[in-house]
Amino acid sequence: MTPTPLATARDPFEVIAAPGGVELHLQRTDKYKSVLLLWVVEAPLDERRAARALLPDLLTRGTARSPGLAAMAARCEELYAMDLLAEVSAHGRLQLLRFGFEAVADRYSGGRPLFMEAADLLAEVLHEPPLPGGRLRADFLEQERTNLVHAIAAMADDKALYSYRRLVETMHAGTPFALHPWGTVEQAAALDEPAVRAAWDEVRDELPVRLMIVGDVSREQALDACARLLAGTRHAPHAPAQLAPALPERPLRHVREVQPLAQSKLVMGFRVQPELLPGAAAPLFGLVFGGDSHSRLFKRVREAESLAYGCSAGVSIESATAVVQAGVDAVNAPRTQELVLDELRRLAEHGVREDELALSRRAQLRRLDNLKDSPRAACAFRLGALMSGRPHVLEEARERVQRVTPEQVAAVAAGCEADTVFLLEGKLP
């Protein structure tokens, strides 16, 4: 066991190379009345992602000891209403599976070892599902497969999300960045017991894992919980953080769909030079350009010309992409696109004003400060930064925001090239 490094005033997390290949991040604090534990599995975004996406809901609906939702709910209630956590998401090239819990800290339990009892329940979830006849329960599998198919299909009902996904799929076609972590409807519908069983095997005994714990927990307790969650397994090491590759140079592409909608959705994607992304200038560019009511796009597209019901921008560090989204009348889409491109050009050529940068800096610092009040948000920030190769210590991230200059923000704008425009045109019958 190699602690590297110990917690410090700047970084409250101690990083421990735990047994089994697990990277343990422990923040010992009595600031909160609860303890958060997250077991984060990193998988490639590949053809098996739908099978893995089924696991969080499948495994948390029952264990060999508590084989059903009612029994699991009773177990959690018995543990002082412990919140059992399970979800799947994406980060760049990776699919992330999070299993965990938030439980009342032991000092409020009257001497009961709630943390270790919660860890034991989570270990059951990871390693001891009900296996009648040595197979995953057919009724559980069928229900969760149906739920996953419906969840994937329902994404098309959120037209802003649908438009964003269509843009991303077009821009990043042929790469993992284009793939949704839940898979496709067809992939989910085709899942059978052997495929899901194989996914469970690799998740519990192969793929890289980070364990993140925040709360009043000793180092010995954290390592004990890690051992119980490993249950004798060993996991692969993490791949080193790396920048997203640059998208190829190509002419601006336009993609258009028509659906019976009252409001059209305009989404514009820009290639960003990867070398501009590691620092704090890219997020500040997103805020200056279209991140809040003080932003260029909000003031010009919405307020000055009343062309859009909303117009925002953001930068994806993980995929080297900037995206602008606007809800418009279809007739206003060409003018809105023209203004977006003009504001980007003006920002690149003439730079950002000090007052714009000050407002954006304040907003970004406020977001970072808010992380300190939420263990889940702080862990999400740390995890994303570690995988992207960005500063994962909040104090260092704040200092970088403070040091960003107007010239650096302008450089990010100059490094954006329009790649794809997607218009979901609404036409009522």
- pLDDT tens across 240-283, in order? 888 888 899 999 999 999 999 989 999 999 999 999 998 899 99
Residue 3 — pLDDT band, cuts 50, 70, 90?
A: very low
Angle at 96 between CA 95 and CA 97, to 5 degrees: 125
**Please, are residues 19 and 8 in contact by the beta-carbon 8 Å criterion?**
no
Choose the CATH number for 253-426 among 2.30.110.10, 3.30.450.20, 3.30.830.10, 3.40.50.620: 3.30.830.10
Ordered by start, the domain boundaries in the chain are 2-230, 253-426
- pLDDT tens across 307-339, in order? 988 899 999 999 999 999 999 999 999 999 999
Q: What is the DSSP string of 165-189?
A: HHHHHHHTTTSGGG--TT--HHHHH
Average confidence (pLDDT) over 41-47: 96
- pLDDT tens across 219-243, in order? 999 999 999 999 999 999 998 888 8
- Map 38-73 to HEC letters: EEEEEEECCCCHHHHHHHHHHHCCCCCCCCCHHHHH
pLDDT given at position 243: 81
Residue 389 — pLDDT band, cuts 50, 70, 90?
A: confident
Give bridge partners of residue 17 from the DSSP assignment.
2, 23
**Please, are residues 19 and 1 in contact by the beta-carbon 8 Å criterion?**
yes
**Please, are residues 235 and 20 in contact by the beta-carbon 8 Å criterion?**
yes
Angle at 369 between CA 368 and CA 371, to 5 degrees: 70
- CATH 3.90.190.20 assigned to domain 2-230? The reply is no
Q: What is the DSSP string of 247-311?
A: PPP---EEEEEEES-SSEEEEEEEEE-GGGSSSSHHHHHHHHHHTSTTSHHIIIIIIIT--EEEE
Structure token pair of residue 326: 């606007």
Same fold, 2-230 and 253-426: yes
pLDDT given at position 279: 86
- pLDDT tens across 45-96, in order? 999 999 999 999 999 999 999 999 999 999 999 999 999 999 999 999 999 9
Stated pTM of the model: 0.94
